[in-house]
Every structure is written in C-alpha cells, then in structure tokens.
Structure 1
Amino acid sequence: MGMTEIIHYSLSPAHLVEAAIRRGEGQLTATGALQVTTDKYTGRSPNDKFIVDSPAVHNDIAWSGNKPFAADKFANLYNRMTAYMQNRELFIFDGYAGADPEYNIRVRFINEFAWHNLFVHQLFIRPEAGNQTFEPDYEVICLPGFKADPAIDGTNSEAFIILNFEQRLVLIGGTHYAGEMKKSIFTVMNYILPRRNILSMHCSANAGANGDTALFFGLSGTGKTTLSADPGRRLIGDDEHGWSDNGIFNIEGGCYAKCIGLRHDTEPQIWEAVRFGAVLENVVIDPAVRIPDFANGSITENTRAAYPVHYIPNALIPGVAGHPKTIVFLTADAFGVLPPIAKLNAEQAMYHFLSGYTSKLAGTERGITEPQATFSACFGAPFLPLPALRYAELLGEKLKQHKTNVFLINTGWSGGPYGVGSRIKLSYTRAMVTAAIEGQLEQVAYQLDPVFNVYVPASCPGIPAEILTPRNTWADKEAYDFKAKELANLFVHNFQGFNKDIPAAIAAAGPRG
C-alpha cells in the first residue's frame, strides 16, 4: 500500500520535540532537553567527507587535504536518495548561515529525523516570522537511514558527506551524528567567504561593554568555549565567524558545546542552557528520573549540547560586532615548554595560524603517557576547501589594517611535561586573557624567546613573574632545553609540509629547530 510522503515545513521546536518523541527518536530529560543517541557514529567521520570534483571548482580546491568525488557518481547517489525519500515523513527547515545580512547564505535542510531538524533550527539563524519567500542558495539533504554501498556509490563506507559547490547541494547519509550538518555548512562558508575577501574562522568571539571584540582560536580541548563564555563580556558565538570590512559576524545562530564533565559551578551558562529546545547528544540519562549524568562518557567522550545562542544570558543578538582589538590563539602544550603568554607580530601570527598547534595526550602501555603534537592548519584543517595560505594571507591583511593585537596563550603544562609538571591554573589563564584583552600588556617590557621566537612579557597582572619564562619553572634546565628543541623541530617539520609559496618572512617567524 503506497502513501505519499508527509512533509513538515518549518515546525516550531515544540512540534519537533513532540515529533521526535512520537517517532521514538529520543526522550525528554528532567530539564526539558531532548536526549538522543547517534548510533555508532558519535563524532565526525573525516574519511567519509568528499568534494565533487567538477571543472568549475577543480582549480580552487586544495586537493591535498580534500577527497574528490566524481560528478556522475554524485548524480547517481542523488537519484538513489530521491527514491529513498518517497513515501517518507520529512522535515524541512529554512534558515541562514551568517548573521550579517550582507554576507549570509540561505540554506534549506531536508531531514529524515525530527531531532535533526530541531538541531538545525537551533544551530542556524532562524528567519523572522512572516518571511514567506525563501529561495535557498544551498540545500542539505540528510538521510541517516540511507546507507551507501561503496561498490555502487563510490563512497568510502555506508556513511558519506558530499559537498557539491557547483550545484550548491550537500548530501549526507549513513551517519546519525548531527555535527556533520553544522560542519558541512561551515565548509561551504570557508569556500564562499574568502572569495569575497572575508576571512572565515574557526573561533569563538565575545565583546566587552564598550564594544571591543576578542576572538579565541584553538583546537578541541584548549578552552575556547570555556574562555569565551565570560560573564563580564557578551558572547557573539562559540565556534564559527566571518571577518568582513564591516567587522565580525557569527556564522551560526546556536552553540554546540562539549558537555563531558559539565558542572553548574564551573560552567553555569552552558549548564542553564540545557533546557527545553536543547538537544543532548549521547549523554547518558538516569532511566528512573531522567537526570543527565554529564560525568558518564560510556557512549562517547564527545557528548554534546546543542542550543540557540540566546539561551546564553547576555549573548549579543544579532551576532555582529566591530573589528577585533585582540585575538588569542589557545594551545594546550603538554610538553610544558611554550610560554604561558606571548605576543605575536603579524608574521608570527600568520605562522602560528598556519601551524594550528596543540598537543593531545596519548595513553601508551604500562601507564606511560607521552604527549603527541597535533597541527591543524588555521585551527580548522578538516573544514578548509581552499589552500591554507589563502586564509593566512587574509588574516595578515586584516591584522595590519586594523592593528589587532595577537597573543599566544598556553593553557597546558608548566614546570615540566605532562606527568611531571602541572597544568597552568585556569585562574591564571583567565587573568592572562583579561590582561591581553584589556590592554594591560601594552606598556610592559618583552623579551624574545630564543627557541620559540615569540615575545614574552616580563610581567602580567595577577601572574607570578617566574612562571612567564617556562625554563625558570623546570628543575632540570637541560631537560627543558631538550624538550623545547624537540617541540621546535616538530613545528619546523610540520611547516615544511606547506607548499613553496609561503613568503620567507612568515617561514622565518616560527620556532628555531
């Protein structure tokens, strides 16, 4: 017995929550948030993401970091997905990416899951009521129940995320993880915006009472969400921004916060945002009382809360602000050798932007834990369709044009590597961020770090002067010298991976291996 598909267009969050529960997709928690699980894909699947290689875009794309997909295979997959959508209940959301109307794009999401539609409703910018005419610039079709057959479809597995810039269409299937929709549109913006002389950035942003804007770059676990959610400043956005001739704008209308270990006393703003309308991904719930157990990572450590930015008190709506006065690059250095804070000139900033360094802790046998250096160009390599230098050049131009100060802040270890030294106190990091943003480091003396080639302040309000020079904090100075050289060589080796187009002044601005 055939039936035509039922299409729900622009449902409210309340209707979408009802639909998700009716369809068995999730359950209400004690705080009113919708809890869902994402099956076996509990994070992004980078090996399953492709860009359609068509003559119109071939020469633009940095194929060294992106996987090509054949246009004829894309057409076949699209036809198979269209057939799959027949006789199904579908949910459509029309919204925007980009809070500055001059630079936004209109995106239509077609979802098989009601909770996915709720997710994009909360993560993107919602149209004003009564705005009936909507012609999408891009469409995203997300069908988790449609599993690809690599032999037929040319994919890597049953899961796929395929971006077609020429047809302005994104196909997602085989994975339940909602973050793929968010990051595919970020990838689209990273393709579109630089071609309009706008720097697209993987960073959080906030503004002070007098409108001064600050940006925070950093890979996962370095503290960009925690440090940008400052009760004394207004949150512009927690993850994706554009920098145009007008200033900064949030690409999104919501937040997607990691919530493993979330506690009310340490992150009250995020805690309070986990309420009706929010989506909790892969958070374990007490079945009897439906209270989330944020400490439980048994499904995944990558537990997430998705909610609209206006759930954060004092958020700046719409998310637009002036040119940044201060930029902070956050890195968690587990080698314990980077200065806690250093000032960067434009060339040094471009070097560290291209490097995108942090270190991850890798457990090895017999309980020995050696840090692993991680480099991700522009602090967001998986989402960059264009060559990294394109984004770095835009950064350099804007830094010089707007005289923006850039600081490198190490939120990692001091006094020795992980296992010997100790993590730099969050209260110290906050004090350094405040000093950088409030201009308290303008008049202090600086000295050049001989290994890392960055300017280290002689003093910083609220910080013991001895910890500002990392070598002083190590009992064994020779061990420090050895470790510092080791990390400097890793920077040099990573930088050799860039093509020969890097200007000599940028290449010379890095650590000296």
Structure 2
Amino acid sequence: MITAKMTTELEQLLANKNIVMQPSVPTLVEKAVKRGEAQLTSDGAIVATTGKYTGRSPKDKFIVEEAGTKEDISWGKVNRPISEDVFDKLYKKVTDYLAEKEEVFVFKGFAGADKKAQLSIQVVNEYAWHNLFVHQLFIRPTEEELQAHEAQFTIVSAPSFKADPTVDGTNSEAFVLVSFEKRIVLIGGTEYAGEMKKSIFSIMNYLLPKNGIFSMHCSANVGEDGDAALFFGLSGTGKTTLSADARRKLIGDDEHGWSDDGVFNIEGGCYAKCIDLTEEKEPEIYNAIRFGSVLENVVIDEDTHEPDYFSGELTENTRAAYPIHYIDNIVTPSVAGHPKTIVFLTADAFGVLPPISKLTKDQAMYHFLSGFTSKLAGTERGVTEPEATFSSCFGEPFLPLHPTAYAEMLGKKIDDHDSQVFLVNTGWTGGGYGVGERMSLKYTRAMVNAAIEGKLNDVETEQDPIFGLHMPKAIEDVPSDLLNPRNVWADKAEYDKQAKYLANLFHENFKRFGEESKQFEENGGPLV
C-alpha cells in the first residue's frame, strides 16, 4: 500500500474546527444552495457556473520536478515542470487561506473498482458543490471502509484563491500542481470541477503502469456471457453513444484499468457532456440528472429552473456529474474479464477512412499512438476546413509517462488475450465535410455489434492501398459499397488526393515520437 506521510500543513488544516468531514449528499446540496454556490433545478439536481474557466486549463497544469520521479516523466508541452520551492510556498499559502474559511469540506473515497489496484484518496474543498462533485464521481466508501481509510493521495482545491504569477511562479492566476512525492494535487484559481477528476486520472496513469496495469481513457461494457469490450475515442467520435447498449451492461464511461484479472472502472460516477441533450437521444444520461447530480454551466429558466440543454450561452462544454448507479444498466461492481474486442473511434471529416477496418497488432499500436480525429469547419473560429487532431492514446493530456509506454502495454494485452482491434470511422462518407454525409448511426451500430459478437474475426477483407487497413467485404445489414470508402466517392481522383493528404498528416504527426518509435510506423502506419 502506498501511503503518503501527511504534511504538516495538511495535518494542521484537517485538525481545524472548520472542517466538515464526509458530509452527506443532502447536506452538500443544502449548503451549496444556501451559500449561493449553486441553484436547484426543476429535476432536483444542482447547477453551478464556473466563471471564465469552463474547461481544463492545460497551460496551468504542472508536475513538481522531484528526485524520485523526474526521470520517469515525459516532460514537454503536456507535462511541464515546476520547482519544489514554488509548490511548497504556494501550498502553504493555500492551506493558510483555507484555514480562515468558515467551512471546508472533505471527501474520503477511492479510485479503482479493483481492490487490488485501488487508490485511497481524499479531497479537501473550499466549495460544497465541488465536494458533492467528487462524492458522485469517485468511489464512495462503506462505513467500514471509511473507518479504515488512509489517504494515499490528497487534492486540495481552493478555487477562490488566485495566484500572482510574478510572485508565485505560476503561468496565470489558475494552477493545477501535482507532487508525486508529497502525494498532493494543489488546485486554485479555477472553478472547473473537471480538473479534480482528471488530476486523479493522471495520477492513476502514472501509478497503474508502475504496477503492471494498463491504464486507459475509454468506455467499457460487458455482455451476458462476460465478453467485455473497450471503446477508445476523442470528443465527438461517439464513445458514450456506442458504449451505451441495452443488451450490454456498462462498466464505465471514461477511465479504466486492465490488470491480470481483467478490466475495472477507475471511477464511481459519470461526467457526461449534456449540450443538446434529449431524453429520446440519450435516455440514460437524461434520466440520471436528478437529486444529487451536479450540472456545470447549464443555463436554467429563471422562473421554472428547467435546464436548457440546447443553450451554449456559457459554453458548449456543459456537463452533468452523477454516480454510476443512477444508470440502470450497469455491472456491479464495475469490473469484468479480459476484453475480446477493442474499438478505436475516429470522426474522419476528410471522409477517406473506412467505416470499419480490422487492425493487426502493429496497426493497433500505431493508431493508438496516433489517436486521430478531426475538428470540423465552422465549429471553431478560424477553422475553415477539416483539421486533423492527434492525441496519443486517445488521452494525451493525462499521460505522465511517454505514450509508447502505454502502447507497448496495449500490444502485450492484445498478445496475451487475443483481443481483436477495430478502427471505426463515425465521420464522413462519400466525400469530406460539406460534400459527403455523416456515417449513419444505424450502420455504425451494426458494424460495431458484428465486431463485438465475433462475426468479423474471420471474414474476407481487402486491404486499403493507402492506409493499409483491412476492410471487411461484407457485414450483415450494411451496404457492401459503403465498406470501401473510395466506392462511394463520385470523384475517385479527389478521394485519392484527400486520402494521401491525410496519410501524410499521420506521417508528419508521428515524427514527434522520434527514432525509437519508427518501428511502430514502419509496421503499422499508412503504406504511402
């Protein structure tokens, strides 16, 4: 068991009379409303706004450069170093600041549904609604577990404390600082609750691989026969939608570990996007928003307090946080056996990748490292045509180790458990964005179901001459012409041009991994 020696600052803070230890959901709801932090909605949830920080602030996240870990960290744009001296001084300021507050809220719980891989955590919050958020997002202890709880990592969060970059050595007023040796995450200047969730995920992405466990940014479900499936994909690729299947039970929607025993959910809740949410489109999420749930930056009617899920007035990144048991179709506890099917989801706005393709192990490792999807024209100011986006391992902002460490673990798991890997394009067909059309969800579901049911394991395939991908020639309930993207382009020469353009973007992106990763590209990358 990894247990941090409690720092003097933390020990003094937790001994303070203003500490509210392990408050209940009703208590936190009541306090959040009474303190003016949040409002009740007509559904019984609470809604809070987060000011100018409506998403993660990656330029304000730092890892403390410490003797015991600095050789392990993949330093760069994602993992930026900060000195121990800067951390220590700011940590003292924040704990002193919280000691003067009327109330400070503490949650004790866990990350990791597999007891063998579980991390004991505690979260110290300035805001009641933040404490409710972590209560719903992480794994809640039983009374017996609470009595024996000894924190291995602590988050100290003070959103109202704003740093002075010229004095405190931060990038801005906001800061997310991780000390692996002190086992502290220090957060200030930002009210966005997702920083706490992703900080613990980043920590698990460091600790789990050290113990031989593959950590993953993916959703997961399991069938009646115990056949688990994983769904990797960046925002907008359909990860949540496709993993929600009435015939299969949800293991988790975002973060998992894969040990020698199987897969397990890292969290105890869900943090779902709810822009344009409807009961018809996503009933599981819609019906999970009730008493105890937390809405972030969702606009509500002044009189009725009904949420307006179609409003992006504050941000498009509106969110709902709720415990996983608010969803009916789940497996309890959130663990399952070894996945036989792994699905990589991409929304290719160039319209050139096959709707589904079987990947060799080398191709799986290559596309895992690439983590490709695309931004769409018109979705961001200045984006006038599709833009390729690459995020290694489908979660690069949360990876303390070099991405190849996770890719190698994936390759070993594929070998050990004969897992079948598929690349599924939920993007465009018959042309790129603005010319073709979005892939039919009906057809995508049919393809994914066929993959999970093992119907594509031994089917006849043809190889794409540009990307080298193996495309099934026939899938039940899917038009055969659709399976080879070139067939459905009216202008074949334009298809070839766009496909070669995207292939070159893959090559250019892979250069950043250096010579040591050249083998991944040679064995699994595009052929041209």
Which category of TM-score, normalised to the shorter sequence, fits these structures?
over 0.9
CA contact (8 A) 1:489 1:512 kept: no
Residues 1:25 and 2:37 are matched in the alignment: yes
1:58 match: 70
Residues 1:181 and 2:193 are matched in the alignment: no
Cα deviation code 1:195-238 (max 9, x no counterpart) = 11111000000001111000000001111011111111100000
CA contact (8 A) 2:420 2:457 kept: no
- How far has the Cα of 1:378 moved from its partner? 0.3
State which of 99, 103, 106 in structure 2 corresponds to 1:92.
106
Taking structure 1 as reference, are residues 368 and 178 closer, same or farther at Cα in structure 2, changes over 3 Å only? closer
Distance 1:406 1:333 in 2: 18
Taking structure 1 as reference, are residues 431 and 282 closer, same or farther at Cα in structure 2, changes over 3 Å only? same
Residues 1:330 and 2:345 are matched in the alignment: yes
1:146 match: 161
Residues 1:500 and 2:515 are matched in the alignment: yes
Distance 2:378 2:289 in 1: 32
Q: Which amino acid aligns with 2:49?
A: T
CA contact (8 A) 1:334 1:418 kept: yes
Residues 1:482 and 2:494 are matched in the alignment: no
- List aligned pairs for 1:177-256, cutoff 5 A: 177-256=192-271
Q: Which amino acid aligns with 1:382?
A: P
Q: Which amino acid aligns with 1:20?
A: A
1:107 match: 121
- List aligned pairs for 1:304-315, cutoff 5 A: 304-315=319-330
**Poorly superposed stretches of 4+, deviation over 3 Å:** 364-369
| Alignment size in residue pairs | 510
Distance 2:410 2:55 in 1: 29
CA contact (8 A) 1:440 1:461 kept: no
- List aligned pairs for 1:457-472, cutoff 5 A: 457-472=472-487
Distance 1:407 1:366 in 2: 33
- How far has the Cα of 1:66 moved from its partner? 1.1
Cα deviation code 1:141-188 (max 9, x no counterpart) = 010011011011111000000100111110000000000000000000
Q: Which amino acid aligns with 1:220?
A: S
Distance 2:126 2:382 in 1: 44
- List aligned pairs for 1:217-366, cutoff 5 A: 217-363=232-378
State which of 91, 98, 101 in structure 2 corresponds to 1:78.
91
- How far has the Cα of 1:316 moved from its partner? 1.1
1:155 match: 170
Matched residue SS, 2:86: helix
Residues 1:48 and 2:60 are matched in the alignment: yes
- How far has the Cα of 1:503 moved from its partner? 5.6
CA contact (8 A) 1:351 1:507 kept: no
Q: Which amino acid aligns with 2:189?
A: G
Distance 2:374 2:260 in 1: 34
Q: Which amino acid aligns with 2:415?
A: K
Q: Which amino acid aligns with 1:73?
A: V
TM-score normalised by length of structure 2: 0.95
Matched residue SS, 1:78: helix
Distance 2:379 2:415 in 1: 44
1:39 match: 51
Q: Percent identity?
A: 61
Matched residue SS, 1:324: coil
Residues 1:409 and 2:424 are matched in the alignment: yes
Distance 1:221 1:505 in 2: 26
CA contact (8 A) 1:369 1:419 kept: no
Q: Which amino acid aligns with 2:439?
A: I
Q: Which amino acid aligns with 2:247?
A: G
State which of 11, 17, 37 in structure 1 corresponds to 2:23.
11
Q: Which amino acid aligns with 1:335?
A: F
Q: Which moved more, 1:122-131 or 1:155-164?
A: 122-131
Q: Which amino acid aligns with 2:87?
A: F
1:371 match: 386
Distance 1:194 1:135 in 2: 22
CA contact (8 A) 1:215 1:327 kept: yes
2:444 match: 429
- How far has the Cα of 1:444 moved from its partner? 1.6
Matched residue SS, 1:508: helix
CA contact (8 A) 1:249 1:320 kept: yes
Cα deviation code 1:415-473 (max 9, x no counterpart) = 00000000001111111110110111123201111101111000111100001000011
Q: Which amino acid aligns with 1:68?
A: P
- How far has the Cα of 1:56 moved from its partner? 1.0
Q: Which amino acid aligns with 2:394?
A: F
